[in-house]
A and B are shown apart, each in its own frame.
Chain A
């Protein structure tokens, strides 16, 4: 259990489903999915040609030409969402730069630009070196630290699809230890040929918009974007008059040690992490009103996550909705955990449980309440957000509204 109370004082989001918190909130409430045709690069060779791309994006709407050239698409998303969270928190100016930090979760990072470098290089051309500037997953954190003068901590977790859930949990730890007083934590990722071709080659991309927990689901729909939270120790935040949006109550992280791409089939390992997260949050699982699932829409993931729910919640599992927001946002890989954590908090504060979109029929292997029928009112104060990743890396976050 994290001894200090870790308050969430600002949110920021930039993704296909919304380019700031208000527009994303609207999409979440109405179920306006961002999944559609992808034109960022050529997707015609693939069975699936759709994704939750950030459309109508012009970097010059957000950065001057020089800054835009120095930042990868992922870095730009990260800067925009981090800036929104920082501004919303009002924390800037209240702390020494050395008391503020950034905890980032990353995935493919600047691979989209790196692919251009490789393509030109293979053609025998001399590609522009700036295309490689963001190739490593740490670049976004460095850009945020420098751009917003956050000198206390600069770190990047990269555990594929659980990266940014872990970065949020770790951000809470950084506050709990007193290492920093305020930390921007979240994640960013962009669509790339590598991930689009990679997941297609593994045959886990649905040609139609993904339909988590539905009969006949064939896999994920990829997405891109960024989301951030500002975390502060609650007493400090209250002293400076911050609005407390909610809390990170606890988190758990572990490796399944089972398989690089397949989840442990009984759900026992996932259940262990979920139960541990509740324990570390200092709450009984009975207090968890609903779970924002990893819910990718792959046949295996959704069945295993459903089994894990039964192991954690027992007879109450039927009464704890397990919803996936990935049919809204696409699977944003390194940013997925942060986007889903932000979605979870928004939903808690709005008193709703989001809908799992794109229902195709009841799958006997998925026998819980998945919220397929539509969003519903809820007085839940606490929810869990799950992230499962390549390598068997699992993270579960427990969040509460203020």
Chain B
């Protein structure tokens, strides 16, 4: 038994990505190393030659009644549906549990931007008569997590993080701490994000369409974190153990090595490393990686601010039982994250 990984475990996963809806399309994509990026319509990008990771296979009305679905923004639709899938994967029915002990802590990227643009467009074109009040509540980035909490009755801690390309990892760090502090027994965490024409117009305006805005993706990648003893008591199937979550905020010039040392912690022996954000471009980090297979789900599915969620789900889908996995995430200007996982049930390892 590896105590370091048994206190907090992962008992459920969910993914909605450019690969499709659910874990199996993602697993197949990873196994085949198949790129799911598709061309961005020229009228959307304003020029030809761009790709994106649009979750075109996702139809909200397959899961949510159309009238209800209309009131959500796209990020909220991803979050509501993926949270339901994650709970189901974990074998959890909140109605049968103390709802105050189930929380949701998500990373979110561009959530709320589309509603904000549409709301303001109404104002710009029609003045106060052009305002659509229904759009306004979902202009906040926490709409996704909050709508998911409302739909699934999750009354535990509810927080949303946005921090560059490490939004999901920021959420994971908090979720882990909340379980350690006994603020909850179960927390759904990970990332949710959307890509849409207004965001691409913004990237284009900033000259980032071929740099950080290239091949942006969307969807949700969620993990159900659970206190190990809680999971054991209910006989849950355990997908992995969660080890340390390390972070540094930025790498000051001339002091990068100290930051990378803090990030990587004590030398471990991961069997598989997943890279998220710009971790694959960070020379001080890539130069220190062990000679093991590297997983870069963003290359296949698209990059997003909260892509760490789907990257961590990808790692856990690929990590054999008993093997150590390392997830690394980085953003230009920081922050940087390193997360340790152990595949399978740590108690059996």
Stretch in B33-41, B130-138, B221-229, B319-327 with 4+ CB within 8 Å of A: B130-138
Given A127-B205, A393-B146, are A260 and B137 also a contact pair (CB < 8 Å)? Answer: yes
Q: Is the CB of A157 within 8 A of B159?
A: yes
A146 and B174 CA atoms in complex are apart in Å by 22
Residues 238-279 of chain B: 1 if any A CB is under 8 Å from the residue's CB, otherwise 0? 000000000111111001001100100000000000000000
Q: Is the CB of A390 within 8 A of B205?
A: no
- Output the residue of B103, B255, B334 with the most chain A CB within 10 A: B334
Residues 168-197 of chain B: 1 if any A CB is under 8 Å from the residue's CB, otherwise 0? 001001100100010100000000000000
Q: Is the CB of A254 within 8 A of B120?
A: no
Q: Is the CB of A98 within 8 A of B259?
A: yes
Q: Is the CB of B252 within 8 A of A97?
A: yes
A255 and B105 CA atoms in complex are apart in Å by 10
Q: How near does chain B come to A337, taking the closest CB pair, in angstroms?
A: 13
B299 within 8 A of A: no
Closest residue of chain A to B104, judged by CB?
A255
CB neighbours of A389 from chain B (8 A): 142
- Output the residue of A115, A122, A136, A177 with the most chain B CB within 10 A: A136
B119 within 8 A of A: yes
* CB < 8 Å A-B pair total: 210
B286 within 8 A of A: no
CB neighbours of A106 from chain B (8 A): 162
Given A151-B251, A269-B155, are A115 and B164 also a contact pair (CB < 8 Å)? Answer: no
Considering only residues 193-214 of chain A, those with a C-beta below 8 Å from chain B are 193-194, 197-202
Q: Is the CB of A256 within 8 A of B155?
A: yes
Q: How near does chain B come to A331, taking the closest CB pair, in angstroms?
A: 14
Q: How near does chain B come to A44, taking the closest CB pair, in angstroms?
A: 10
* Residue in B127, B142, B163, B201 whose beta carbon sits within 8 Å of that of A393 in the complex: B142
* Residue in A154, A160, A194 whose beta carbon sits within 8 Å of that of B335 in the complex: A154
* Residue in A132, A155, A179, A393 whose beta carbon sits within 8 Å of that of B161 in the complex: A155
CB neighbours of A145 from chain B (8 A): 249-250, 333-334
CB neighbours of B161 from chain A (8 A): 155-158
A199 and B40 CA atoms in complex are apart in Å by 35
Q: Is the CB of B136 within 8 A of A111?
A: no
Closest residue of chain A to B108, judged by CB?
A158
A252 and B255 CA atoms in complex are apart in Å by 36
Closest residue of chain A to B149, judged by CB?
A255
A194 and B118 CA atoms in complex are apart in Å by 11
B219 within 8 A of A: no
Residues 103-118 of chain A: 1 if any B CB is under 8 Å from the residue's CB, otherwise 0? 0001100010011011
B114 within 8 A of A: no
A132 and B177 CA atoms in complex are apart in Å by 33
Given A257-B154, A391-B149, are A202 and B133 also a contact pair (CB < 8 Å)? Answer: yes
Q: Is the CB of B100 within 8 A of A152?
A: no
- Output the residue of A106, A133, A151, A202 with the most chain B CB within 10 A: A151
Closest residue of chain A to B72, judged by CB?
A260
CB neighbours of A115 from chain B (8 A): 120
Given A145-B249, A154-B250, are A201 and B131 also a contact pair (CB < 8 Å)? Answer: yes
A272 and B99 CA atoms in complex are apart in Å by 13
Considering only residues 207-259 of chain A, those with a C-beta below 8 Å from chain B are 252-259
B147 within 8 A of A: yes
Given A98-B262, A255-B149, A269-B155, are A152 and B248 also a contact pair (CB < 8 Å)? Answer: yes
A146 and B173 CA atoms in complex are apart in Å by 21
Closest residue of chain B to A122, judged by CB?
B124
* Residue in A153, A158, A391 whose beta carbon sits within 8 Å of that of B162 in the complex: A158
Q: Is the CB of A153 within 8 A of B335?
A: yes
B348 within 8 A of A: no
Considering only residues 262-307 of chain B, those with a C-beta below 8 Å from chain A are 262, 305
Q: Is the CB of B117 within 8 A of A118?
A: yes
Considering only residues 144-171 of chain A, those with a C-beta below 8 Å from chain B are 145-146, 149-160, 166, 170
Q: Is the CB of A198 within 8 A of B139?
A: yes
A46 within 8 A of B: yes
Closest residue of chain B to A104, judged by CB?
B163
Q: Is the CB of B125 within 8 A of A201?
A: no
CB neighbours of A160 from chain B (8 A): 140, 142
Q: Is the CB of B177 within 8 A of A177?
A: yes
Q: How near does chain A come to B7, taking the closest CB pair, in angstroms?
A: 14
B123 within 8 A of A: yes
Q: Is the CB of A201 within 8 A of B133?
A: yes
A214 and B100 CA atoms in complex are apart in Å by 32
A127 and B132 CA atoms in complex are apart in Å by 25
CB neighbours of B99 from chain A (8 A): 257
B153 within 8 A of A: yes
- Output the residue of B117, B142, B164, B252 with the most chain A CB within 10 A: B142
CB neighbours of A255 from chain B (8 A): 103-104, 145-146, 149-150, 154-158
Q: How near does chain B come to A167, taking the closest CB pair, in angstroms?
A: 10
A118 and B117 CA atoms in complex are apart in Å by 8
CB neighbours of B116 from chain A (8 A): 111, 114, 194
Give 20 pairs: A residue, B residue, CB < 8 Å, sorted on A.
Answer: A117-B205, A121-B201, A137-B141, A138-B167, A146-B250, A151-B255, A152-B249, A153-B247, A154-B163, A158-B141, A159-B142, A166-B159, A173-B177, A194-B120, A198-B136, A253-B158, A253-B183, A254-B155, A255-B150, A391-B143
12 other contacts beyond A158-B108, A158-B140, A197-B120, with CB at 8 A cut-off? A45-B127, A153-B248, A156-B161, A156-B163, A160-B142, A179-B247, A194-B116, A197-B128, A253-B183, A255-B145, A389-B142, A391-B147
Residue positions of B touching A, CB distance < 8 A: 99-100, 103-104, 108-110, 113, 116-117, 119-121, 123-125, 127-128, 131-133, 136-143, 145-147, 149-150, 152-164, 167, 170, 173-174, 177, 181, 183, 201-202, 205-207, 247-252, 255, 258-259, 262, 305, 333-335
